[in-house]
């Protein structure tokens, strides 16, 4: 049986992927801040789930937490990092920006670095991170969210470059959702809002096929192309 850790499994995409992995013969360690939600999920399949509650902002403690989870699982094949945050911040409230950076940059980097080093020693492994199509351009409604997602996209690309340089078969998958029907779908002008179930199915296929980059749902690739082609002079007027 393969072993996986899902960071951020209390709701949304993380919860959907944890369930899908358990149904696909994975033993899964699920984490999040809300203990009661982790326990509810564990009760659905006690033989497949183990739990540990922590906040990804606890960067000094994360290495110990991950060590404990890997030991309890008896190894690790796959990490899914689905923990992230972002809020509408039209007034540029620094506390909102700071919280976003602590989660999406500091917590993200701490977890990804630990896992990459673990898989490098193991000489195999698969890292999957949920970024966002928002990381392709800046966004006036949630500046730190877009910026931190851009950081994540760039960081994952650097790791793919690193694996090629090291010639180690570590797969690094960047999942870039558009709007998904979760609490993270905020702001004006939402369209093409996908269900968690549909997004989970497409991500599972990407994991199985060891894809490097996917947009979910697939139609968001069209928006990604438009974002990349749109001149700054036009984009800044949106």
Higher pLDDT, 189 or 96: 96
Q: What is the pTM of this model?
A: 0.93
With bands split at pLDDT 50, 70 and 90, how would you rate the model's confidence at 183? Answer: low
Mean pLDDT of the chain: 94
pLDDT band at 88 (very low <50, low <70, confident <90, very high): very high
131: its two tokens:
């970024």
Report the C-alpha gap between 115 and 119 in whole angstroms.
6
d(CA 117, CA 88): 34
Reported as a pLDDT band with limits 50, 70 and 90, residue 209 is very high
Backbone phi, then psi, for 170, in 5-degree steps?
Answer: -100, 125
Residue with the two structure tokens 């968690």: 196
Cross-sheet strand order for the sheet of 125-130? 49-53, 26-32, 2-7, 78-81, 125-130, 170-177, 213-216
Q: Closest Cα partner for 49 from 58, 57, 40? A: 40
The Cα-based distances of 223 to 107, 157, 168, 219, 237 in angstroms read 28, 20, 33, 8, 17
Tell me the CATH number at 214: 3.40.50.720
Alpha helical stretches, state H, 83-219: 94-101, 108-122, 143-166, 196-209
The structural domain count of the chain equals 1
Domain with 88, as residue range(s), is 2-235
Is-contact 212 129, C-beta < 8 A? Answer: no
Instruction: Name the pLDDT band for 58 (thresholds 50, 70, 90).
Output: very high
Dist. CA 174–CA 171, nearest whole Å: 10
Q: What mean pLDDT comes out for the span 206-233? A: 94
Q: Each residue of 1-31: pLDDT tens digit?
A: 999 999 999 999 999 999 999 999 999 999 9
Q: pLDDT confidence of 187, banded at 50, 70, 90?
A: low
According to the model, what pLDDT value does residue 193 have?
82
């Amino acid at each position: 049986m393969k072993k996986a850790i899902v960071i951020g499994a209390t709701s949304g995409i993380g919860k959907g992927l944890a369930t899908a992995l358990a149904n696909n013969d994975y033993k899964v360690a699920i984490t999040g801040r809300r203990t009661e939600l982790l326990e509810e999920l564990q009760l659905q399949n006690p033989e497949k789930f183990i739990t540990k509650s922590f906040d990804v902002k606890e960067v000094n403690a994360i290495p110990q937490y991950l060590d404990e989870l890997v030991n309890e699982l008896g190894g690790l094949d796959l990490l899914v990092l689905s923990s992230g945050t972002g809020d509408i911040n039209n007034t540029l409230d620094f506390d909102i920006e700071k919280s976003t950076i602590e989660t999406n940059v500091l917590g993200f980097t701490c977890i990804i670095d630990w896992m990459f080093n673990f898989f490098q020693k193991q000489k195999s492994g698969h890292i999957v991170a949920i970024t966002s199509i928002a990381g392709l351009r800046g966004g006036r409604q949630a500046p730190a969210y877009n910026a931190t997602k851009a950081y994540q996209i760039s960081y994952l690309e650097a790791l793919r470059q690193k694996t090629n340089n090291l010639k180690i078969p570590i797969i690094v998958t960047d999942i870039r959702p558009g709007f998904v029907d979760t609490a993270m779908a905020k702001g004006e002008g939402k369209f093409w809002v996908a269900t968690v179930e549909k997004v989970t199915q497409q991500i599972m296929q990407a994991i199985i096929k060891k894809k490097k980059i996917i947009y979910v749902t697939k139609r968001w690739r069209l928006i990604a192309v438009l974002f990349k082609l749109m001149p700054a002079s036009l984009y800044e007027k949106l």
